[in-house]
Amino acid sequence: MKQRHLGKLVGNTGDPKNLMMILNSSFAARRGEFIRIRHRELEDEPEANVLGRIVSIHRSNVLYNSGLGSSVTELELLPGAQITGENLHAKLEVVGYKDPVTGQIRMPRRPLDPGANVETVDFQFLSSFYEFREDTGLHLGNLVGYDRGENIVPVYLDVPNLVTEHLAVLAMTGAGKSYTVGRIIERLVTLNNGTVVVFDPHGEYGKALAGGRIQFNEQNEVADPRDERVLPQIQKLLWRLTEAGAGIQAYTPQSSSFQAKYASANHELALQFDQFEMDDLSEILPGLTEPQERVLDVAIRYWRQQEKSPRDINQLRDLLSGDLQELRDWKELTEAEGRALNSRSAAVASIKLRRLLNDAQAFYSKALAAPTNIADMVGRRSDKRGRLVIIDLQGLSDNAKQVITALVSSEILKAASNKTNPIRPCFLVYEEGHTFAPSGQPAISLRIIKKVAGEGRKFGVGFAVISQRPSKLDADVTSQCNTIIAMRLKNPDDQRFILRVSDMFSKADIDELPSLSTGEALVTGRAIPAPLLVKVGAKALVHGGASPEVLEMWGHFDG
């Protein structure tokens, strides 16, 4: 394809994020288009093509200047005279150039030449510039403007960097963030044979296993030949993995409503209360006084010694609600601990424990066949079966959602750090992340998510946080995310938050977010060679995040 000359660089060319060009005509280019400029970084090096993007276009005409008022109508032009007064210039941002030795994308350190020609690029150039390793990459979608027909430019995310260095997906409601995450996780599980654990507060991801059977999306509009080829492969792999005891697995609280949703194909959560540390317990039972914590600590130690694992949590509750004589007779009790055994403190601790059990419905008792085994849930390192684990928390209170999320996340991190028999590397997905890691307010799950953010990488545990209100997310958690997928965002507070916690976005990037269409995403960070605007591709599984068909559901009044 022959390159077209669009215009020339003008003005100060020292800032690669703030270049200006004069356009040849009003039809020469459009906002968002890619361009290239010839540039020599060192005197003894050959010229390289510097890739850039048009971020804004200014067009004005002196004859239609509001400052002229009505005088423009009084102008009398001589016959044949042409007074255009057109002013056309565009603002550019440099993406970079490919180092001829390493192949890495680098930013020019020498200013580009004023007066240099600015030219179009074709899809072959972009495909060559954004080279991806398909064996370690995940196809997210295609470059906006190059996402249909013959001129498709695929965009891949680097899986190791994506999974171990954490991901944030930020967008307003209806922009397609959950759909985007759905495409990512189903490919991680099948094409990369990974383990993904989704904490699903609204049961959206659980729709993929509704009725106990895998629900595939039969209404896909597939515009990409790659997706036409790969989607059937993903479906086949999901079937095979699930039949092999992995694949899609749903874990739920102990409620008949979940049994109905999954046709009894779900696994009921039966967390072992005695395996948690006192730091965990003081958070999931907030408001305990020091005397209440001492009584609880003694009761748990006695319970652990007297009962064989797995231990029924109702036995602990009975200990606390009784007369405490059994504890007072314990030979290992110190004199100070004996004085601390206050019946009133024990009764209050028992009440709080009972509320937790009733609210979360996720702890082991002898009424259940077996406790939840985290290693079975996510798989041991020797297990070569990919799996999508959905922790369905639909209908629970925020407090119960946080408790279950905190305890499961804590157990996964603990199992991953086991040197003798570690679990598989896994990717934790926190949907509605502002519920689990809020800014400026207490949350039971916040401490463990911060711990995963800070320590998870060395144990093979990464996470993704998804939110429609980025400004309500804890800044420490978001700042640990080295890849960010930002979709349509119109709230100024959310836009300012992204700029504050991440240096990966420019002001021009943020200005573009309100105008993105559904399914379009600005992707930047460690998992991608340079910031790119991507049209997210189709996904294989049904996802429940779509808006309901309200008119169809309302129906017609026949009276």
Give the Å distances, CA to CA, from 245 to 139, 268, 519: 27, 16, 33
C-alpha count within 13 angstroms, C-beta hemisphere, residue 456:
29
Residues in the chain: 559
Strands 86-98 and 19-23: antiparallel
> Domain spanning 152-214+224-269+372-513 has what CATH number?
3.40.50.300
Residues 83, 404: Cα–Cα separation, whole Å: 71
**Residue 39 φ/ψ, nearest 5 degrees:** -155, 140
The three-state (H, E, C) secondary structure of 224-253, written as one string: CHHHHHHHHHHHHHHHHHHHCCCEEEEEEC
Residue the block writes with tokens 């390289």 = 48
Give the Å distances, CA to CA, from 61 to 7, 67, 75, 99, 146: 18, 11, 14, 41, 32
- Mean pLDDT across the chain, nearest whole number? 88
Residues 300, 401: Cα–Cα separation, whole Å: 24
Contacts of 319 (CB under 8 A, 6+ apart): 299, 302, 303, 326, 327
Name which of 437, 495, 251, 441 is nearest 362 in CA terms. Answer: 251
Residue the block writes with tokens 């020091």 = 290
The three-state (H, E, C) secondary structure of 120-131, written as one string: ECCHHHHHHHCC
Segment holding 111, helix H or strand E:
none
Contacts of 93 (CB under 8 A, 6+ apart): 16, 17, 18, 19, 52, 53, 55, 506, 508
**Residues forming beta bridges with residue 39, ordered by sequence position:** 48
pLDDT digits (tens, 9 = 90+) for 105-128: 889 999 999 999 999 888 888 888
Among the ranges 271-275, 423-427, 521-525, 528-532, which has the highest mean pLDDT value? 423-427
Q: What is the dihedral of CA 271, 361, 391, 286, to 10 degrees?
A: -80
Pick the range with the lowest mean pLDDT from 100-114, 271-285, 288-302, 360-374. 271-285
pLDDT digits (tens, 9 = 90+) for 371-421: 999 999 999 999 999 999 999 999 999 999 999 999 999 999 999 998 888
pLDDT digits (tens, 9 = 90+) for 31-52: 878 899 999 988 888 889 999 9
Residues 159, 138: Cα–Cα separation, whole Å: 6
Pick the range with the lowest mean pLDDT from 74-88, 117-131, 469-483, 499-513. 74-88
Name which of 321, 399, 392, 394 is nearest 359 in CA terms. Answer: 399
pLDDT digits (tens, 9 = 90+) for 333-383: 888 888 888 899 999 999 999 999 999 999 999 888 899 999 999 999 999
Average pLDDT over residues 131-141: 87
Name which of 52, 143, 50, 161 is nearest 100 in CA terms. Answer: 50
Query: What six digits make up the tokens of 497?
Result: 């938050």
Contacts of 81 (CB under 8 A, 6+ apart): none
The confidence score (pLDDT) of residue 135 equals: 81
Residues 185, 277: Cα–Cα separation, whole Å: 31
Residue 264 has pLDDT above 80, yes or no: yes
Residue 279 has pLDDT above 70, yes or no: yes
In angstroms, what is the C-alpha Rg of the chain? Answer: 29
Query: What six digits make up the tokens of 163?
Result: 């999974």
Residues 220, 182: Cα–Cα separation, whole Å: 14
Name which of 267, 238, 240, 243 is nearest 255 in CA terms. Answer: 267
Residue 553 has pLDDT above 80, yes or no: no
3-state secondary structure of 465: strand
Residue 220 has pLDDT above 90, yes or no: no
Residues 520, 486: Cα–Cα separation, whole Å: 9
DSSP state of 41: S
Whether residue 104 contacts residue 98, with contact meaning beta carbons closer than 8 Å, is answered with yes
The confidence score (pLDDT) of residue 167 equals: 96
Residues 256, 261: Cα–Cα separation, whole Å: 9
Residue 257 has pLDDT above 90, yes or no: yes
Would you kindly state where each structural domain of the chain is located, as residue ranges? 5-129, 152-214+224-269+372-513, 273-360
Whether residue 16 contacts residue 107, with contact meaning beta carbons closer than 8 Å, is answered with yes
Residues 526, 466: Cα–Cα separation, whole Å: 18
Residue 265 burial class via C-beta count within 10 angstroms: exposed 0-12, middle 13-18, buried 19 and up = middle
Pick the range with the lowest mean pLDDT from 252-256, 423-427, 524-528. 524-528
Whether residue 415 contacts residue 423, with contact meaning beta carbons closer than 8 Å, is answered with yes
The confidence score (pLDDT) of residue 217 equals: 87
